[in-house]
Amino acid sequence: MVNRENLGFIALLLVATFCMGSSFPTGKFLISTESLPPFFLGGVRFVVAGMIVLAICRYKYGLAGVIPTFRDSMFFGFLNVTIVGILQTAAAMGFLNLALMRIDSALASVLFFTNPLWVLILAHFTKMEKMTMKRLIGLLLGIFGVILCLKLGKGGSYLGMMFALLGALSWALCTISVRSFCRIDSTPFSLAGWQMLMGGFILSVISLSSSESYDWAQLSGLGWFNLIWLIIPASIGSFSLWFMALQKGGVSQTSSFLFLVPMFATVFAIIFLGEALTLKFFLGCLFIFLAIYLVNQSSKSRQKERENKTSSLIGEMIKD
């Protein structure tokens, strides 16, 4: 029977990945239809989102809930949020934007959301979590499910593919970092706010150095709606909930839910862009759910093993 804590964890990730999935059609609309430059859009999106989250933290938790500290050190607190901002926002999203300039969005999504596989590999070699056959099979099934969900075109450059994979690797490094050493003493919302602000600032610098600009008077009413959606649910909602979930679950278990993002992105495309609903999409969804189940079952088995070992040790200590 699923307990309330597990249901809460799953609900967090479902809402987070739903919000992440919505960023693909909204971002595509703003870049393709409204002609916003990609790094300019990324900078505006994450700087505004980061400032809103930090303002909410200031109102709710006071100044202590905003200033990042790690083990009572403000220096290490700011260092950690800067590292997370570079890896999660600037590098991952920056590489994704570079990929989207060279390959189609479906192929970029497949390569970008190989992220859980890289998380599992990194977690295994850093001895955070053990790679089991069940987990590996689950992750490979998840990647296959993502491929089925998306319509892959044949066009694209090897450089674009490399950028998408670098984006996936950057996100994986961020996930490992947050679970190991890049932590702060305040709430996950503060971490989300600072990493978006830092990453958005870096993307803004890249945009300025690339001479990107945009006349806001040209943005249509629908464009403003998509921009607000991209900032609030797709950035503030998704990243805040993602960091909350990451603190609750293991890296492999949490990252396995990222396979849902392309699926949700496709659902948005079907609803708002009029794309056809196919049998291949349903099969892809089935593989994705099977992958998440296998990875999570593996995590639960290992947790039970640890609990049994702990109980045995306690029993031996009582006997002695």
pLDDT in tens, 23-75: 877 887 888 789 898 889 999 999 999 999 999 999 988 888 888 888 888 88
pLDDT in tens, 223-264: 999 999 999 999 999 888 888 887 777 666 777 787 788 778
Tell me the CA distances in angstroms from 163 to 102, 111, 145, 147, 174, one per residue in order.
9, 9, 22, 18, 17
Helix then strand then coil, % of the chain, to nearest 5:
80, 0, 20
Distance CA 28, CA 26 (A): 5
* pLDDT given for residue 252 in this prediction: 67
Confidence at 309, pLDDT banded by 50, 70, 90:
very low
Q: Mean per-residue pLDDT for 74-94?
A: 89
Q: Which residues contact 105 (CB under 8 A, 6 or more apart)?
A: 24, 28
pLDDT in tens, 116-157: 778 878 887 877 777 777 777 877 887 787 777 665 555 557
pLDDT in tens, 184-226: 777 888 888 998 999 999 999 999 999 999 999 999 999 999 9
What's the angle, vertex CA 12, arms to CA 8 and CA 17, rounded to 5?
150
* pLDDT given for residue 247 in this prediction: 77
Q: Mean per-residue pLDDT for 268-296?
A: 72
Residue 308 has pLDDT above 50, yes or no: no
Q: Mean per-residue pLDDT for 172-190?
A: 81
Distance CA 272, CA 285 (A): 19
* pLDDT given for residue 243 in this prediction: 81
* pLDDT given for residue 63 in this prediction: 84
* pLDDT given for residue 223 in this prediction: 93
Q: Within 13 Å and on the Cβ side, how many CA atoms surround 230?
A: 23
Residue 271 has pLDDT above 80, yes or no: no
Say if pTM beats, i.e. exceeds, 0.95.
no
Distance CA 117, CA 143 (A): 9
Q: Mean per-residue pLDDT for 292-303?
A: 60
* pLDDT given for residue 52 in this prediction: 95
